Amino acid sequence: MGEPADRAAELCDAALAGDRRALARLLTAVENRTVAAEAALRRLYPLAGRAHLVGITGPPGAGKSTLVAALIAELRTVGRSVAVIAVDPSSPITGGALLGDRVRMQSYAGDHDVFIRSMAARGHAGGLASTSGAAAAVLDAAGFDLIFLETVGTGQSEVEVAAAADTTVVLEAPEMGDEVQAIKAGLLEVADLVVVNKGDRPGAQRTAAQLRAMLVASVPRNDAHHHPRPKRPEVLVTTASTGEGVPELLTALDRHRAAGRDGSAEAARLARAEHQVWAIVSDRLRDRLHDPGRRAVTEATLHEVAEHRLDPYAAADRLLGSLGWRD
């Protein structure tokens, strides 16, 4: 056990001292869920929590990568450091992936304060890789001021990004038709900011106006006293390809972060912690139940459920019981 831990400590020290190659290798270890990665995350987690994590989601082609590039340019003019995790889908059949977001974010070679990393989703649904959150924690510990998480962009509800980020930006391109349809209600629900990109295209302002109207209408009125106030996201218009509207977007991101400091972000952070910890608990339970000593019992139990000879609840009780767990 000493070896991976030693290696992790070495990589962590180097990455924290600003060695970008060590940082890149740590991220690989995290993606591959190595033993060294777990040791590294244990060490780095207490150092994370300072960066502003910003999720960028929305349909393919809306301009997510171009907008991230424009935000990087804006951040660099004011001397803030920035990292990007850009996720693209993996083929369920071959496991291969084509990671193309970097094409739009190329101009920062030699800038130590910009770090861009592509990630394949590796079978994980929800717009991110299962290790994207851990990768963000590593970049956070390494001291980046802002970290962008660009989702796969399936156009489906990629709500998972909201759990991974402090601020979630839902990006949309102008609608050609009369009505805004492309944004699923579920996606709007998680938006802290809604951005209509391609502001140079006809219909951008009209799309933004429709979204504003829709968002006001969707706020429930009757139970405002008993439930946390639903988000009422600001709607902005940008032209990522020219940078128009990008300074205003950055201001809105900063404002959202500052507002979150006095309370509302706490719930989001707690939800993120819960999500992370439960994922590990369930992984560990599964591993235990597949120990060489228990595997036979576990598999026999699953077969009994498959054949309807045992109900799933009784099966769960039996398996937990086999681990010594009693209620």
Partner 1 sequence: MATRPIKVLIAKPGLDGHDRGAKVLARGLRDEGFEVVYTGLRQSPEMIATAALQEDVDVVGLSILSGAHMTLLPKICRLLREQGLDDVLVTAGGIIPDDDIPALKEAGIAAVFGPGTTIAEVADFLRANVRSRD
Ligand X SMILES: Nc1nc2c(ncn2[C@@H]2O[C@H](COP(=O)(O)OP(=O)(O)O)[C@@H](O)[C@H]2O)c(=O)[nH]1
Binding-site ranges for ligand X (CB under 6 A): 60-66, 101, 104, 153, 197-198, 200-201, 239-241
Please choose, out of 115-123, 194-202, 253-261, 309-317, the segment that lies near partner 1 by the rule CB under 8 A. 115-123
Distance CA(161)–CA(144), nearest Å, equals 19
Taking a C-beta distance cutoff of 8 angstroms, is the pair 207, 180 a contact?
yes
Of 131, 31, 152, nearest to 89 by C-alpha is: 152
* Distances in whole angstroms, Cα of residue 138 to Cα of each of 148, 162, 188, 300: 13, 19, 29, 40
Residue number, 197 or 207, with CB nearest to ligand X: 197
What are 169's strand-pairing partners?
A: 56, 193
CB of 15 to partner 1, least distance (A): 12
Size of the site for partner 1 (CB under 8 A): 32
Instruction: Report if residue 99 touches partner 1, rule: CB under 8 A.
Output: yes
CB of 27 vs Mg ion, minimal distance in Å:
19
90 binds, among partner 1, ligand X, Mg ion, none (CB under 5 to 8 A by kind): partner 1
Q: Which of 69, 126, 129 is nearest to 102 (CA)?
A: 69
CA distance 214 to 114: 37
Contact 160, 57 (CB under 8 A): no
Query: Does 94 sit near partner 1 (CB under 8 A)?
Result: yes
- Cβ closer to partner 1: 70 or 215? 70
Which of Mg ion, partner 1, ligand X, none has residue 60 at its interface (CB below 5 to 8 Å by kind)?
ligand X
The answer to the question of residue 2 lying near partner 1 (CB under 8 A) is no
Q: Work out the burial of residue 200: count CB atoms within 10 Å of its CB; fewer than 13 is exposed, 13-18 middle, 19 or more buried.
A: middle
Of 57, 65, 167, 301, the one binding Mg ion (CB under 5 A) is 65
Q: Does 286 bind partner 1 (CB under 8 A)?
A: no
CA distance 64 to 85: 12
Stretch that binds partner 1, among 32-40, 42-50, 208-216, 253-261 (CB under 8 A): 32-40
Which one of residues 31, 52, 87, 101 is an interface residue with Mg ion (CB under 5 A)?
101
Helix (H) or strand (E) holding 2: helix 2-16
3-state secondary structure of 111: coil
Q: Which residue's CB is nearer to partner 1, number 31 or number 158?
A: 31
Residue with structure tokens 């139940």?
A: 289
**Which of these ranges, 31-39, 182-190, 268-276, 314-322, lies near partner 1 under the rule CB under 8 A?**
31-39
Residue 120, interface with partner 1 (CB under 8 A)? yes
Which residues of the shown chain bind Mg ion in the complex (CB under 5 A)?
64-65, 101
